[in-house]
Structure 1
Amino acid sequence: MTAAVVVLSCGVLTGCGGRSSAEPPSSPVSLLPSASASRSSSSAATGGPVAVLPATGATPAAWSRVDRQASSVAPHVAVVAAKMTASGQLQIVHQSGPTDARPLASMVKLYVLIAVAQAVQSGTLRWDQRLTLQSTDKAAGSGALIGAASGSTVTVQQAATLMIQISDNTATDLLIRAVGQSALAKAVASTGSSNAAKLVPFTTIRQDIWLEWSTSAAAVQARARWAGASTQTRMSLMAPATAPGSPVPDATGAGTTARWQDGLGYFASALDIAKAQVVLARLVRQKGLEPLQSILDVTRTGITTPTSWRQVSFKGGTVMGVQTGSWYARTTSGDEVLVVMASSPGGVNTASFNALASKAAAALAG
């Protein structure tokens, strides 16, 4: 059975990547073994957790203007702008807004890509290895792979490209199943995240949509018990989302409640995401991981990028009341990282968010 990959428009549940790029999958083969085991430590694969140097000196006028504009975009806007030092440290240029873990939406897919790259590096996955799509991998929202027939296959590289370039939710879930929970936990830890516990268990997009939006009795019970539940209990509570024959959950009838306000969904701080972008930039330079660069090179980043940004890796996200974006730029004078995360129960205007991120990018580039 062969299924073509058709590019669809991005949905409201997760963020858009940029250009669409994927070859159609070919004949199905059996699902590959889990890549949760690793023959090398995650810290060795990335050079250790990212070291951060705090900002120094007074706040320049350009950043004061960014902060004033941020207050008009949403009540909660976190900004981290930084430059990479010659020794590989993350030098903060400007940081403002909340420093705690905030809702990520599709920026969480950066961690999935790190886990995939580390699995390829350790030899438990290959870029050309084929993964077989199961019906319970299918997740609503943005992406194209949901339209492929169960039993179709894509390579690891194709799935990763779909996940980043068009924020494909089904491709993401296929990769999460391929690498496994242990590898995902190692990937998050390898970045030096200060909020790693908030991504345990690392739910699939399908599970997350079901947990946040389903009106079924099981989902209502799961939401009520989630906060105090152990990891094992949480996995059990989510079982109906991927039970054989279960329908693809969506937001139909979910109303207007932003569930992240109740602690549901994916969370990390803006600085955590900046570290994740740095780890990916390190991995790109590793032997055998060269495909990462084409996966990360997104031509539509949502903002006006500075002319000095020669090559840009981007991942953003959108969910009800949340808009996020992260950019890693290579320039002639060194690499730069920008993360902007906005959240408001009443919603975030995308155009206003992009205008703010554009101004922050200009301030960072100088």
Structure 2
Amino acid sequence: MRLAAYFLRTASPARTVARLVAPAPALRFAGGHAKSSRRSFSMHTPSKSARALAAATVAATVAATMTACVSQAVPAQATAAPISASATSAPEIPATPAGKQLGWLIDASSRAPIPEDELKKHFSASFLKGVPADQINQVLTGFKDMRLTKIVQSRETALVALVQAAGTAYEVVLSVDGAGLIGGLQFRPPAPKSWSELDKRLRKAATQTGFLAAEVKKNGDCRPLHTVAGDKVRPLGSMVKLYVLGAVAQRIKSGAFGWDTEITITPELKSLPSGQLQDRPDGSKVTVLEAAKLMISISDNTATDLLIHQVGRKTVERTIRAWGNPDKRNAPLLTTRELFVLKGADYPRHAKRYLSLSTAKKRDYLEKVVAKVPLDTIAAWDKPRELDTIEYFGSPSDICQAYARLAKMPDKHVNEAMSINDAGLGLPAKQWPTVWYKGGSEPGVHDQSFLARTSGGKTYVVTAMAVNPKAVLDDGALGLELTALARGAFTLSSSS
């Protein structure tokens, strides 16, 4: 959890806002200072090889016909897939507005840097406002002399193409606006074509991994289709917020309060970013629904703590147990602020004292000691810390059950909150009209989980968990790779 992107970080809503180098799904503690609610992003400096920017993203608002792109600039060594040398003849570029821009992009990659005046003829003004010309040229330089090998999908205003650069394959996701100018552009690793390929890539992704692809049956059971250590409990990070949302929805169903109930933002309930609510004035109000949307879509930590306070800590703990997750380390359930304090304030004094206590005395310590620690005393940490003791815990199977319980809830607001951000998964909207996402990370942890429902009504959940207890993970490269694996897993699951 580096203090350059505060803990419990999740990507911006992929279908509404896109950025140059948007945050990978994460539960992260990083960022400059406690009052900063936004993470700053910078593109990695490209190497001489196209591998330096494998899956680098330049994204602006993507046309409605195509899933928006949200991802991170990453070093190539962890993501892209080798392409066969047998692919020698390039396919015909579609005679569409999107195809025209793809042809220009391929040509431009051989003569970068491209003058700004020329870029203005091919990228929309809104794209260029968020993505400066020098950053576009970094990407083009990184993918020098790219070659088209396949058109994967093609519509008038959007396409997905497979290209080769420096002996490596990438998918290019491109869309244009009404004037035919590029409004969205992403380079990403291809999805795996088989379970064996998925397993091979997963093993390379991190030292410890867990994976589950499952169908959620009508009765709410998760039927595993493919699993790698699917029952192994690991740190959940921000995926714990699935349980918080479930507890909120259950309390609303019981009549305890409503989605329109207002919660007061007080100094004691403010946490650190990611999020927005920590920047609002003390005493201001937010509805339960807005807090729930922010908690899921941008992983707002203050929103999370407000909701835990609204329903009660023990209520969320009961939901976790009732939904099939028995890990005793989830009680007491920490608020995000409490977790920050234990891991970042006068470490390891508070952590050691807390861990030495019984559950009942831990609750007392949180209330009487931890709650009084000022946020500005929390220091950043950039190495894995207390991953087996001060975290939230569960397995890929547990997360599938959490999604299954949420999916059975008839409350439309649950779907509303879960559907805002798909983390750039990129499933075709016609075949997959419903996509939910929640991820989490901190130094040494990177998790992603998705639920997607087909147009025919079948529901699948894919969860990938990666842990390195000794070193920080490369969230950029790993995030894109896990997303690619999840995208492939949904396709493989639906065809099995």
Equivalence for 1:5: none
Shift of 1:166: 0.8
- The runs of 5 or more residues in structure 2 that have no matched partner are 17-191
Q: CA deviation at 1:137?
A: 0.8
Residue 233 to residue 209, structure 1, CA distance change in 2 (3 Å): same
Contact 1:206–1:249, Cα closer than 8 Å, also in 2: no
Residue 369 of structure 2 corresponds to residue 240 of structure 1: yes
Q: 1:327-353 CA deviation, whole Å, 9 max, x = no partner?
A: 111112400101111111322223333
Instruction: Please point out which of 426, 432, 435 is paired with 1:312.
Output: 435
1:88-137 residue CA offsets vs partner (Å, 9 max, x unmatched): 32110011036322111111111110110000000112101111111011
Distance apart, 1:159 and its partner CA: 0.7
* Aligned equivalent of 1:132: 264
Cα offset for 1:255?
3.9
May I ask how many residue pairs the two structures share in their alignment? 308
Cα distance in 1 for partners of 2:219, 2:255 equals: 28
1:65 aligns with 2:197: yes
Report what 1:31 is aligned to.
none
Q: Which residue of 2 aligns with 1:266?
A: 392
Q: Distance in 1 between the 2:388 and 2:350 partners?
A: 12
| Separation of aligned partners in 2, 1:353 and 1:251 | 26
Report the alpha carbon displacement of residue 222 of structure 1 after superposing the two structures with TM: 3.1
- With over 3 angstroms needed to count, the CA separation of the structure-2 counterparts of 1:363 and 1:175, relative to structure 1, is closer
Contact 1:13 1:320 in 2 (8 A): no
Q: Mapping of 1:2-17 within 5 angstroms?
A: 11-17=5-11
Partner amino acid for 2:459? D
Q: 2:413 aligned to 283, 291, 297, which one?
A: 291
1:221 aligned residue: 349
Residues in 1 aligned to 2:453 and 2:230: alpha-carbon distance in whole angstroms: 27
2:240 corresponds, among 108, 111, 115, to 108
Structure 1: state its 5+ residue gaps.
1-9, 22-59
Other-structure match for 2:471? 346
Answer yes or no: is the 8 Å Cα contact 2:211–2:465 preserved in 1. Answer: yes
**Structure 1 stretches of 4+ moved >6 Å:** none
Task: Select the residue among 309, 312, 325 that pairs with 1:193.
Answer: 325
Say whether the 8 Å CA contact 1:73–1:349 is kept in structure 2. no
Whether the 8 Å contact between 1:76 and 1:98 is mirrored in structure 2 is: no
Deviations 1:256-310 (A, max 9, x none): 3312335111111111111111111111x2xxx2211111103442433355322
Determine if contact 1:18/1:301 at 8 Å carries over to the other structure.
Answer: yes
Match among 361, 382, 388 for residue 256 of structure 1? 382
The answer to whether the 8 A contact 1:12-1:320 is kept is no
Q: Under a length normalisation based on structure 2, what TM-score does the superposition of the two structures give?
A: 0.58
Secondary structure of the 1:192 match is: coil
1:332 to 1:159, Cα distance in 2 relative to 1, 3 A: same
Query: What is the match of residue 250 of structure 2?
Result: 118
Change (3 A) 1:276 1:116: same
Q: Counterparts of 1:99 and 1:226 in 2: how far apart (Å)?
A: 28
Q: Output aligned runs, 1:162-173, within 5 Å.
A: 162-173=294-305
Structure of greater relative contact order (alpha carbons < 8 Å, 6+ residues apart)? 1
1:94 aligns with 2:198: no
Q: Which has the larger radius of gyration?
A: 2
Task: Give the drift of 1:354.
Answer: 2.5
CA distance in 2, matches of 1:228, 1:118: 33
Residue identity in the other structure for 2:365: L
Displacement of 1:16 after TM fit?
0.6
Structure 1: which amino acid aligns with 2:439? Answer: G
For residues 262 and 91 of structure 1, the distance between their equivalents in structure 2, rounded to whole angstroms, comes to 28
Say whether residues 1:205 and 2:336 are aligned partners: yes
* More moved, 182-191 vs 321-330: 182-191
Deviation per CA, 1:220-265: give whole Å up to 9, x if none: 333224444211211233233322xx4215752x443312335111
Match of 2:286 in 1: 154
- Which stretch has the larger CA shift, 128-137 or 306-315? 306-315
Change (3 A) 1:74 1:12: farther
Q: Residues of 2 paired with 1:67 and 1:355: CA distance?
A: 12
- Find the counterpart in structure 1 of residue 487 from structure 2: 361
Question: Who is 1:18 aligned against?
Answer: 12
- CA distance in structure 1 between the aligned counterparts of 2:343 and 2:488, rounded to whole angstroms: 36
Residues 354 and 336 of structure 1: CA distance in aligned 2, closer, same or farther (over 3 Å): same
150-159 or 225-234: bigger deviation = 225-234
CA shift, 1:318, in A, is 1.8
Taking only aligned residues, the RMSD between alpha carbons, in angstroms, comes to 2.3
Correspondence for 1:330 among 453, 464, 477? 453
What is the alpha-carbon distance in structure 2 between the residues aligned to residue 95 and residue 156 of structure 1? Answer: 36
